[in-house]
Structure 1
Amino acid sequence: MTSAFQASLLDCDDDVAPGLLGSSVRRTELDRGAWIDVRPGWISGADTLFDRLIDAVPWRAERRRMYERVVDVPRLLAFYAEGEALPDPALDEAKRALDVHYAEELGESFRTAGLCLYRDGRDSVAWHGDTIGRGRSEDTMVAIVSIGTPRTLLLRPRGGGPTLRHDLGHGDLIVMGGSCQRTWEHAIPKSARVTGLRISIQFRPRGVR
């Protein structure tokens, strides 16, 4: 697949690696026991990683039932189950760094990796929480690394309330923790202005989808 996205003028490093976490992570406490951590530019060489993943990942299209119809999922997908080799060593490094940073708070390791390829502004994901499995009833974490063209991630409380906006790309990290998956929702809306590609890499613990 040919990559087409607006590379960051600040990301000129061909060496791909996660940066430090620690005090560089900004936490925002939400209501009802939810929180988010944000670390801008966590992956150095993120544009190089983008080019590698475009070619290395076996992207696939899916169709899902929505009400009375079966429709195309508006993005391409790949999933790496527990024990499966990840498509790039930089993702192994990123997972290890997340495991170390969140070990005490999460109490377990991140086990799976889901990847989504947003091809342009028409690709999107509707409002949802990761509530298939343990996330429906337990506090958990989902760590998302965004590379490629920045896209807007929206968050809002379930049942209504103020919407939070984060524009993520070029190696940015966001972690949704606590009760976030069951008490808040998140979405990537369609955009008439975005024309480049974005890859989202989601690390999850066992039993969370």
Structure 2
Amino acid sequence: MIPWRIRTVRGPRCPLTARRRVIGSRDRRSRLAWSASSRASRSLARRDRACSSSRAGLGRSRSRRGAALVEGRSRVTRVELQHGGFLLFHDPFLSPDEASAAFAALLVEVPLRQETIRLFGKSILQPRLSAWHGDPGASYTYSGLSLLPHPWTPALSVLRARVEEAAACTFNSVLVNHYRGGDDSMGKHSDDEPELGQDPVIASLSLGARRRFVLEPKKGGEKVTLELGEGNLLIMAGTTQHHYRHGVPKQAGRGARMNLTFRRICGVTRP
């Protein structure tokens, strides 16, 4: 029995066209009740279309400038990057109570473990716990680690439906990362593996402690630093994975955090 459910309460929608470098203002318009069998979830499951930036409705109307816009329940800030990459930052996406309930449910449902990866010819333990979940056949390989998907848990299924609506595309997999404290981290990298396809959309949902998230251009230029707090959703789209690396550095004294990065593995038929 899921102790929490999501039901979307719709508000007015608007084009995601804002350009802004400062991230983090809050707007408590989020009104979510939890319902795993929402109409939005069923319609998204039926359409199951390919999830690239050009087809996901994320690149519309870039010419308009202005402050962050309110899309439905959350404040959405658009950040333009180099060479056609861009970010969409939803703050808040889940309320603190909803994010806390999701965190607790995932700690019970998800088989988190510390994996061994290969970096620069050496085997090392990842400085965090992780788990890979997805549709049957949605396998994923990175840093010498090959992952077969665990089934979707009740909590992950509910969160997937909500994130799919915000991203305007479907996802068939999610990487769950659990940072046990400030000493856990993630090195800078790009999510550009072949199985993710051209210009992948990566939707990153944060739960728990606030942590710094850094994006840096591969060939020099302005870094972008975001403070990702509980219940925030960050969508990386366009050519971001081709031209940028991102990571989560160590931060002393920070508490536990969980991050869910929803992805689409190419060539997998959704059940």
Q: Is TM-score (shorter-chain normalized) higher than 0.5?
A: yes
How far 1:21 sits from its partner (Å)? 4.8
* Equivalence for 2:12: none
The corresponding residue for 1:203 is: 262
| 2:32/2:94 contact within 8 Å kept | no
Q: What are the residue-to-residue correspondences of 1:38-49 with 2, within 5 Å?
A: 38-44=89-95, 45-49=98-102
Partner Cα distance (1:86, 1:25) in 2: 28
* Residue 15 of structure 1: how far off its partner (Å): 5.8
CA contact (8 A) 1:16 1:48 kept: no
CA-atom RMSD, angstroms? 2.7
Of 171, 177, 180, the match for 2:240: 180
TM-score w.r.t. length of structure 2: 0.63
Cα distance, 1:55 vs structure 2: 1.9
- Aligned-pair identity in percent equals 29
Q: Distance in 2 between matches of 1:141 and 1:65?
A: 25
* TM-score (norm: length of structure 1): 0.80
Q: Name the counterpart of 2:125.
A: 72
Paired residue secondary structure (1:65)? strand
Letter in 2 for 1:65: R
Match of 1:24 in 2: 75
Pair 1:124-2:185 in alignment: yes
Specify the code of the residue in structure 2 equivalent to 1:78. A
Deviations 1:100-149 (A, max 9, x none): 3433xxxx5211111000011111111111011255x6112000000001
Q: Deviations over 1:14-49 (max 9, x none)?
A: 96579x955732211111010000011211310121
Higher-Rg member (1/2):
2
Distance 1:25 1:139 in 2: 21
The amino acid across from 1:157 in the alignment is P
Gaps spanning 5+ residues in structure 2: where? Answer: 1-27, 37-69, 137-149
Extract unaligned runs of 5+ from structure 1.
1-9
Give secondary structure in 2 for the equivalent of 1:42: coil
Q: Which residue among 143, 154, 158 is the counterpart of 1:88?
A: 154
Q: Matched residues in 2 for 1:38 and 1:128: separation?
A: 20
Task: State the match for 1:52 in structure 2.
Answer: 105
> What residue in structure 1 maps to residue 175 of structure 2?
114
Q: Of the two structures, which has the highest relative contact order with CA contacts closer than 8 Å and spacing of 6 or more? A: 1
CA distance in 2 between partners of 1:14 and 1:58 (Å) = 27
Paired residue type of 1:100: E
